Amino acid sequence: MANKSRAFGLVHKMPSDLQKVIDFDSAAQAEWKKITPLARNEWICWIISAKKLETRAHRIRRTVAEIKKGIRRPCCWMGCIHRKDKKLSPSQKFMLSRQYKKTA
């Protein structure tokens, strides 16, 4: 299954902190199973891209709340830049160039 997932562009494994929260909430677990593997990958990438632990914890709480509302992907986020099955979009390239300029 992992090889098949990678062929479709999935690159992130489920982090244990997110898994614990989803396992604890049966409604979130049911909704998590309904979304596509690519959508799950987007949520996971958004969570693990947080630089601060507080931000990560907030994103996990928000993920669970939004998934329970039927929201399928994180809003206002440029998307997973780690996938190798598609090129970066112009907006992703722009955001990455801005991030690089801030650290240089």
Determine if residue 100 is left, alpha or beta; phi over 0 gives left, psi from -120 to 50 gives alpha, anything else beta: alpha
Residue 14 and residue 45: Cα distance in Å, rounded? Answer: 9
The residue segments making up the domain with residue 95 are: 2-103
- pLDDT tens digit string along 51-97? 999 999 999 999 999 999 999 888 766 666 666 666 766 766 666 67
pLDDT at 1: 43
pLDDT at 55: 96
Q: 0.75 cut: is pTM over it?
A: no
Please tell me the total count of domains within the chain: 1
Q: Among residues 2, 22, 20, which one has the least CA distance to residue 11?
A: 2
